Amino acid sequence: MVKQLLELTVNGQLNNLEVEPQRTLLEVLRDDLGMTGTKRGCDDASCGACTVLLNGKAVLSCNILALEANGKEVLTVEGLAKDGKIHFLQKAFIEHGAIQCGFCTPGMLMSAKELLDNNSNPTELEVREALAGNLCRCTGYTKIIEAVQAASNNK
């Protein structure tokens, strides 16, 4: 298959790649750019483990062709930390015990980041709605919701 040019800014870094048209954004992020924090879970857009921000909007990277992201900005969980300091959301997840096995955590963090970027003081219901597409098998969600609400208070 003929490869096509892809220009993608990931975590502030411009990347020029040649990719096959059928490859997903998830595949390019993990396999070509080494952004393994973005998890491959279900591969059919039902678990949320692969959530990244695409031009500031939470999307499921397993459900988007890489070429659909051409010329756009992607933020992955690796891009949350700045200057060696973890993001306030990451800190809240740690402090509130919102991480068990950690597989869902990157997707949860990215969905929560989009929420807090657009709503600095969400209600519990708004947090639940923002995280509705992210599945967790370990925590029961309560601590995750508490962490997001705590992060909103400490921005």
Q: Taking the domains of the chain in order of start, what are their residue ranges? A: 4-79, 88-153
Number of neighbouring beta carbons within 10 Å of residue 122: 19
- Domain at 4-79: CATH code: 3.10.20.30
- pLDDT, residue 2, reads 93
* pLDDT above 80 for 111: yes
CA–CA separation, 33 and 10 (whole Å) = 9
pTM of the complete model: 0.95
Q: Percent of the chain beyond pLDDT 90?
A: 90
Look up the CATH superfamily of 88-153. [2Fe-2S]-binding domain (1.10.150.120)
